[in-house]
Amino acid sequence: MLDHIRRHAGDRRRRILFTGATIVTMDDALGVLDRADLLVEGDRIAAIGTDLGVEDAITVDASGAILAPGFVDTHRHAWQAQLRRIMPDVDDLMAYVTDTLVSYAPAYRPEDMYVGTRLAALTAIDSGITCMLDFSHNSRSREHSESAIRALLDTGIRGVHAGMAPHFGDWDRQWPADLTRLRETYFGGKDQLLTLRLGALATDEIAGPDIAYGPSLARVARELGIGVSIDAVFGQSSSEAVLRWAADGLLDPTVTLIHATGLTSRAWRAIGDTGATVALAPTSDAQIGLETAIPAVDEALAVGVRPGLSIDVEVALASDMFTQMRALHAIQRMRAVNAGYGTDRQPRRVTTHDVLDFATRQGAHTNGLGDVTGTLTVGKKADLQVIRADDLNNLPLNDPIGTVVLGADARNISAVLIDGEPRKWDGKVLDVNLVALRAEVEESRAHILRTAAARGAAAHIG
């Protein structure tokens, strides 16, 4: 069956019919459908319903499975993947900055950018993430940026490249001017997998003014017609920056604020009023301890912002969206109950539907792709995952959304389609030579650690 499907790859007339599934559409008009069919034609969802009975379709029996939209990751520093869990107990932002951005990042060659980004994207696909924003903040040269983009292309993920200059160390000073060339070279088509954004920091406290968002970077993004993703939005100084951006007309729905922990109520009102989007990083905020260490879901919801979710840094955190949903679900509900304890108050608790919405539809909106992906809706791109609900850890199926959020994990994902093309099938990511990949990752890691150690020794001697 897979051979038949792939033999007609790219054919807009090719039809794949999934039958008998529980379909979690995340589309308010459709909801959850029991024992239903979904038709993929070419790269799009062509029909959803019961007993579609489509002729000339490759039929996939999906009974006993849940069809759901692919997850959307709104912020991951993919280039770091070969350093996964190298600092699992890091307990403050500056320790991460010192080890990863000061020590390891300058050791990266373009080929290391490729290896790390490809590994992150393949792992995302394996865990049901069909769209990933790569906040590529180690763009030391044209070649570094191109390598990160090629890695996204080669995996077939719906990738968003948010390019930003490195925080520290030598680099070619080609950014942000080089974004024009990158857009013309890699992002010219209107109907393609890759999207370009500008990456920036909220303030100049960590790495100086050149990469802090403000009028000049906003002008670059607007001239290029691309969105902006702003990282390290924390605390009082970021709150003041948010108010400046709002006053200067630099906040709008094309701008995403990442983390948004510890912001003032005035800053949150400005975010809500301007329609800016928010990308939460639940495990990053809580585990590393960023500002208040509490993911700002309640603050976002209070001003009408439904946030997207993200992975952030794999040097310390889990790689999958299931972990992010469960962490946010537990933290918010714990916070709500604690706030009302001993009183008559009944603070609102988020539901499993809420966090799945954040991980799919709202993530797509946050990445500027809400009309493309994020729900199973006729006419949208066929970005979906097939989750076995009759596996040992999921059976019996009682609540499909609860099962996706609280029960499932990557081992239960039998298939992932992106743009209508299978990227995972029968539980295995396709087109990956794991032996060769493992060797490339280990060689790259060895080079980075060796080079960083040598530079550190030289600096100490100096």
What confidence tens digit (pLDDT) does each residue in 171-230 have?
Answer: 999 999 999 999 999 998 877 999 999 999 999 988 889 999 999 999 999 999 999 999
How far is 370 from 188, CA to CA, in rounded Å? 20
* Same-domain check for residues 260 and 189: yes
How far is 441 from 444, CA to CA, in rounded Å? 5
Q: Average pLDDT for residues 412-428, to the nearest whole number?
A: 98
Please report the pLDDT score of residue 355 as a whole number: 98
Number of neighbours of residue 337 by Cβ within 10 angstroms: 12
- Considering its fold, how many domains does the chain have in total? 2
Coil, strand or helix at 425: strand
Answering whether pTM is above 0.95, one says yes
Tally the residues of the chain.
462
CA-to-CA dists, residue 327 to 113, 232, 334, angstroms: 29, 20, 11
* Same-domain check for residues 300 and 415: no
> Does an H or E element contain 300, and which?
helix 297-302
Q: pLDDT tens for residues 76-125?
A: 999 999 999 999 999 999 999 999 999 999 999 999 999 999 999 999 99
Q: Which two tokens stand for residue 216?
A: 């000049």
* Same-domain check for residues 410 and 353: no
Give the residue, 462 or 445, on which the prediction is more confident.
445
**Domain containing 160: what range?**
71-366
Position 352 in a domain: yes
* Same-domain check for residues 241 and 115: yes
Taking CA 426 as the corner, what is the angle to CA 425 and CA 429, rounded to the nearest 5 degrees?
A: 45
Q: Average pLDDT for residues 294-303, to the nearest whole number?
A: 98
Residue 282: cis peptide before it, omega within 30 degrees of 0: no
* Same-domain check for residues 293 and 398: no
Return the residue matching tokens 């609860």: 402
Q: Which two tokens stand for residue 129?
A: 């993430």
CA-to-CA dists, residue 148 to 18, 118, 119, 162, angstroms: 34, 8, 11, 10
Query: Using the 8-state DSSP alphabet, how is residue 70 labeled?
Result: P
pLDDT at 462 over 80: no
Position 455 in a domain: no
Q: pLDDT tens for residues 323-382?
A: 999 999 999 999 999 999 989 888 899 999 999 999 999 999 999 999 999 999 999 999
Please report the pLDDT score of residue 461 as a whole number: 52
Buried b (16+ CB within 10 A) or exposed e, 168-186: eeebeebbbebbeebeeeb
pLDDT at 460 over 50: no
* Same-domain check for residues 129 and 240: yes
How far is 75 from 358, CA to CA, in rounded Å? 13
Pairing of strands 15-24, 32-41: antiparallel
Q: Average pLDDT for residues 147-167, to the nearest whole number?
A: 98
Position 113 in a domain: yes
Position 412 in a domain: yes
* Same-domain check for residues 168 and 258: yes
